[in-house]
Amino acid sequence: MLGHAPFYYEHTKKYIVVFGTLFNDLFIIRKSKDGNKEDKIKCSLFYSTKNKQLERLVENPNLQNQWESEFPRLSFELIGFSYAPYRKENTMNYSLNTEHNKLAKLSYSPAPYDLTFQLVAYTCYQEDLYQIMEQILPYFQPEYCVKVKEIPSLELKRDVHIVLNGVSIDLDNSGDYLQEMKVFTSTFDFTLKGFYYGAIEDK
């Protein structure tokens, strides 16, 4: 109906990878009880929903023996999309890439969409949760900018803005998943300001 050949630029996949890469190298410092020893612990990152992560932890048959070794950990997921008319560009604008003795590649202005992401931090100590929050919050005031290669064939690169909309903390250990084991969570809500391009034309 739209009258064009099929195309796929992996925009959504790229945005998921870009978002996850921001948080795949977070560490915390955990001190011994006497304060003489410090351990640097990496926060494991997973692409998963919050409920699935908690279910997996509780259903683990060896959980009681290794509960503390499962934390800290992070999970994130893409929640949804919404059109962003306030970022719409002139529809007559276009990107053009020409090579010697070849047809030019042309693409018109992309459609702006806001992608909603949710990042959840899980810890078994409140102090660990606060450390993770302090590793993230200073870099979003309220947004962080990342350069993304949108369409390599057109040599298109764009600064993509990721905005932190809000943070919530859950320090309640009485949930159905948690039973007698402690787990604290913090949820970060983000908006990634992305773009989706249409078919590339030969000119």
Chain segment 43-79, per-residue pLDDT in tens: 989 998 777 766 666 666 555 556 566 788 899 999 9
pTM value is 0.81
The C-alpha atoms of residue 141 and residue 136 are separated, in whole angstroms, by: 10
* CA angle, 35 then 36 then 37, to 5°: 100
Q: Using alpha carbons only, how large is the chain's radius of gyration in Å? A: 22
Q: What is the pLDDT of residues 18-35, one digit of tens each?
A: 999 999 999 998 877 776
Range 137-147 average pLDDT: 94
Kindly state the helix (H) or strand (E) to which residue 127 belongs, with its residue range.
helix 126-136
> Greater confidence, 97 or 48?
48
Q: How many CA atoms lie within 13 A of 106 on its CB side?
A: 9
Which residues are bridge partners to 145 per DSSP? 161
The C-alpha atoms of residue 182 and residue 83 are separated, in whole angstroms, by: 40
